[in-house]
Structure 1
């Protein structure tokens, strides 16, 4: 249970920070992506710092690249 406490606390902290700062839609997506990536990286690597940071970086890049709207052709 203690293993899941750190990622949950990180997500709550990220949510609190996002609520306080006026961010653009792209910045919000990047922040959410980084948070989700950090949690996923931490879980997948067993709490490794490198895995957490790598997940945050990858999630931030992916979040920054999404616009939240599906595109139709």
Structure 2
């Protein structure tokens, strides 16, 4: 079981580094949208605990992030 947790942690670390590198050539508005979607998705997962709430949170967070930088 520890091997599965270690692989999951490594995958999360690789995803975080890749996402930071991908934001290098984004505009401020695109970056705000991506950050809003990430935060909204995480909040939706914590609050609702299902895939649908995660997707809903990401969608709402993305819209809010897009409009904040306007």
TM-score higher than 0.5: yes
Structure with higher Rg: it is 2
Moved over 6 A (4+): none
Q: Normalization by structure 2: what TM-score?
A: 0.70
Say how many residue pairs are matched.
Answer: 61
Unaligned runs of 5+ in 1: 69-73
Q: Normalization by structure 1: what TM-score?
A: 0.68
1:43 is displaced (CA, Å) by: 0.2
Q: In angstroms, what is the RMSD of aligned CA positions? A: 2.8
**Which residue in the other structure is 2:64 paired with?**
62
Higher helix share: 2
**Which residue in the other structure is 1:45 paired with?**
48
**2: CA distance, partners of 1:17 / 1:44:** 24
